[in-house]
Amino acid sequence: MKTLSIATIFACFFCINKFEIVEATSQKWHAGIEAAGYGTKYELTIVPNVGSDKLIFDRLWIGNKYFKVYSFQKGKKMRNNLFSKGDTITIMVNDRVQKRKPMPIVRKDDININKKYKVPYKYEGEALLSYTYKGKRKYKEIKKFTEKKELNYQ
């Protein structure tokens, strides 16, 4: 009977965790010239336990800043939010500070929508990832980002 109970608990553990965050990193960067700006790139490496037909990552708050997110499979450059159970996927956002106005090709809805999507609740970690599972909104706190060496583009 004890074996059955442990197996049931183990199975339920995997039912609860829809994905695992394998790595969360941040990397400060400088563009090389002042007008191009500077910022911090945040990257999440995730292994989902279900496919993208049930799980969709869509929002990330770092502090009080909101970012729209898209996932892409490891080794692929296209952000298409398509993945299968067990794939390694990546979510990247760039918190960019730019001295000049951005180029016209940058979409306005991606620049300043912090007012539209306020942080849903006070969280303890460095970031809050929002996702939907089978149409229901859920949140996962990211306790800490591991800092990578600063990158200077020159």
d(CA 126, CA 111): 21
Give residue 29's pLDDT band: very low, low, confident or very high (50, 70, 90): very high
- Which residues pair with residue 92 across a beta bridge? 43
Q: Does residue 10 fall inside a structural domain?
A: no
Q: Does residue 4 fall inside a structural domain?
A: no
Residue 1: is its pLDDT beyond 50?
Answer: no
d(CA 62, CA 105): 25
Give residue 103's pLDDT band: very low, low, confident or very high (50, 70, 90): low
pLDDT tens by residue, 49-74 = 999 999 999 999 998 899 999 888 87
Buried/exposed code over 126-153 (b: 16+ C-beta within 10 A; e: otherwise): bbbbbbeeeeeeeebebeebeeeeeeee
Q: Does residue 83 fall inside a structural domain?
A: yes
What predicted TM-score, i.e. pTM, was given to this entire model?
A: 0.77
Q: Does residue 122 fall inside a structural domain?
A: yes
Query: In terms of DSSP H, where are the helices of the chain?
Result: 2-16, 108-111
Q: Does residue 29 fall inside a structural domain?
A: yes
Q: Which domain holds residue 40?
A: 16-149
pLDDT of residue 54: 95
| Distance, CA of 91 to chain centre | 5
Give residue 127's pLDDT band: very low, low, confident or very high (50, 70, 90): very high
d(CA 44, CA 144): 11
**For 10-24, 25-39, 109-123, which range has the lowest pLDDT when averaged over its residues?**
109-123
In the chain, the number of structural domains is 1
Q: Does residue 11 fall inside a structural domain?
A: no
Q: Does residue 22 fall inside a structural domain?
A: yes
Q: Does residue 6 fall inside a structural domain?
A: no
